[in-house]
A and B are shown apart, each in its own frame.
Chain A
Amino acid sequence: GAVVSQHPSRVICKSGTSVKIECRSLDFQATTMFWYRQFPKQSLMLMATSNEGSKATYEQGVEKDKFLINHASLTLSTLTVTSAHPEDSSFYICSASGQHEKLFFGSGTQLSVL
């Protein structure tokens, strides 16, 4: 099956710093990747759609200057949380579209901002 690798799995940072999360499709090319945020005991909330070679499309209410997305190649998308604050603490998950509409997820990144 298709494998999506996400790093780091856990990060703790100080308030005001920036954090970069990487999402890689290991055995397939993904022109489209998605970034989600998940609060404890809740469903996945789509933040943005990452398109290779073009600007990301953000969902309503998601600050594009806060959550920078770069999709520089067919196998790599990055999410940078800029000037992180405690309210940005959350579980962030990426996904990539494989063959036949199947969506495969990374293992998630638990971000804790002190």
Chain B
Amino acid sequence: GENVEQHPSTLSVQEGDSAVIKCTYSDSASNYFPWYKQELGKGPQLIIDIRSNVGEKKDQRIAVTLNKTAKHFSLHITETQPEDSAVYFCAAPNFGNEKLTFGTGTRLTIIP
């Protein structure tokens, strides 16, 4: 099946600075890569996703980049705010079906 690796497992950044979280995947046929934000005691929330026909997608302070050749994709958060503190998960499809394989998560802490 699909293997997704995510780094780092924890990340602390000063408020206002940028945060970058990276994921690699194993299945070269994968074509959809979502990112989820999970706050304590809540379900994951889809914050941005990218398809393999583009290399970058932006939504205000959040962006995702994709390198299909290297099979990795990254989440970029600029001008970080305290409310960005959460656990972030990347994911990739499992052999083209509706199942998603999730990364191990990154606990992001924004330091005021």
Contact = CB atoms under 8 A, between A and B. Distances in A.
Interface in B77-93: 89, 91, 93
Given A43-B104, A97-B98, A103-B100, A6 B49 contact: no
Tell me if A's interface is mostly helix, strand, loop or mixed: strand
A80 interface: no
Nearest to A107: B43
Contacts, number: 49
B102 A43 contact: yes
A26 interface: no
A75 to B, nearest CB: 17
Contact of A102 (B34, B44, B104): B34
Interface in B43-95: 43-46, 49, 89, 91, 93
A13 interface: no
Nearest to B42: A107
A43 B103 contact: yes
Contacts of A28: none
A44 B89 contact: yes
Contacts of B104: 42-43
Contacts of A34: 98-99
A102 B42 CA distance: 18
B47 to A, nearest CB: 11
10 contacts: A6-B43, A34-B99, A44-B89, A93-B44, A95-B43, A101-B93, A102-B46, A103-B34, A104-B46, A105-B46
The 9 closest A-B pairs by CB, nearest first: A105-B43, A108-B43, A107-B43, A105-B44, A93-B43, A43-B102, A43-B104, A44-B102, A106-B43
